[in-house]
Amino acid sequence: MLMIGTTSTQLKNRHFNALYNGMKYWRGDFINTPSDLPFSPQSYLVEQLPTIVNPTHFHIQNQFQVFIAGSGSIGKHEIKPCVVHYAGAFTGYGPLVSGAQGLHYITLRSQRDPGAKFIPEKTSELVKGPKHHHTTESLDLLSLEELVDLGRPQRLDIHTDQSTGLGISQIRMPPHSQFTLDFLNLSTSAYLLVMTGSITHAAYHLTPHENIFITKENAPYTVHTQDLTCEMLFLQFPPLSAEYTL
């Protein structure tokens, strides 16, 4: 499976949410998520309002969050662009607190999730099994001029774990270049998330913060640039732990 997440779709889907616990945010989905396929990817932008607390919670699916604007904290970690946070299924994290300018982040999943389960209200639903999360430092993004001067594509592996299949990498590409991406042995699927510039796929010219969801059956996958440079994230998902599969 290969699916494209576009800004036009995200803007059409954008809507406001106010939860019972004080969490207030705008959400817009980049992908109109199918519900009847082996993979049902979700990618969406959350615009958390200023000085709002998203209480500690967990999800039943593995997920990445990429922080793209604003500031805040997640647990004891300071958050600013461009921090990447991974939380495995049934792994509690938070609270997620936005600063004075709010906090914007893109959530990425390979499978549809029914929504946050807040602690302590949903503690009884916290299934026993492996817990896994990882938070990067703020990743440096090159300027467009620096990307032009690269000469050839560059891959920086920020965090790759062969024992789980979790992968976080930066891909930097000058104009008129291509780069072939291979999966870790245990990874099941991945997102390419454009951070700066543009890549091409078929008739699409993907710009920040558009994305491509790829399952392992599509690997190796080759990305291309035309006249523009591109820097993107390559985020690989581990399989869902056996304890969490029905």
Report yes or no on 245 lying in a domain. no
Do 73 and 44 lie in one domain? The reply is yes
Question: Do 125 and 14 share a domain, yes or no?
Answer: yes
Looking at the domain assignment, is residue 246 inside a domain? no
Domain interval for residue 211: 144-237
CA 199 to chain CA mean position, Å: 17
Q: Mark whether 127 and 173 lie in a shared domain.
A: no
Residue 242 maps to a domain: no
- Residue 23 makes CB contacts below 8 A (sequence gap 6+) with 17, 48, 52, 53, 54, 55
Asked if the structure places residue 244 within a domain, the reply is no
Is residue 193 in a domain?
Answer: yes
Residue in 160, 150, 197, 151 with CA at minimum distance from that of residue 181: 160
Same domain flag for 116 and 165: no
Q: Give the pLDDT confidence score for residue 220 in this predicted structure.
A: 87
- Residues 148 and 124 grouped into a single domain: no
User: What is the CATH classification number for the domain harbouring 87?
Assistant: 2.60.120.10
Q: Count of domains in the chain?
A: 2
pLDDT score for 113: 92
Q: Are the C-beta atoms of residues 180 and 220 closer than 8 Å to each other?
A: yes
Residue 1: inside a domain: no
115 and 177 belong to one structural domain? no
Domain identity same for 229 and 202: yes
Alpha helix segments (H runs only) across 122-242: 144-148
Same domain, 107 and 214: no
161 & 179 share domain: yes
Residues 191 and 108 in one domain: no
Residue 113 lies in a domain: yes
All residue ranges of the chain with pLDDT < 50 are none
pLDDT per residue as tens digits for the range 186-209: 999 999 999 999 998 878 899 999
pTM for this one? 0.95
User: Contact 220/155 with Cβ under 8 angstroms?
Assistant: no
What pLDDT, on the 0 to 100 scale, is given for residue 246?
Answer: 65
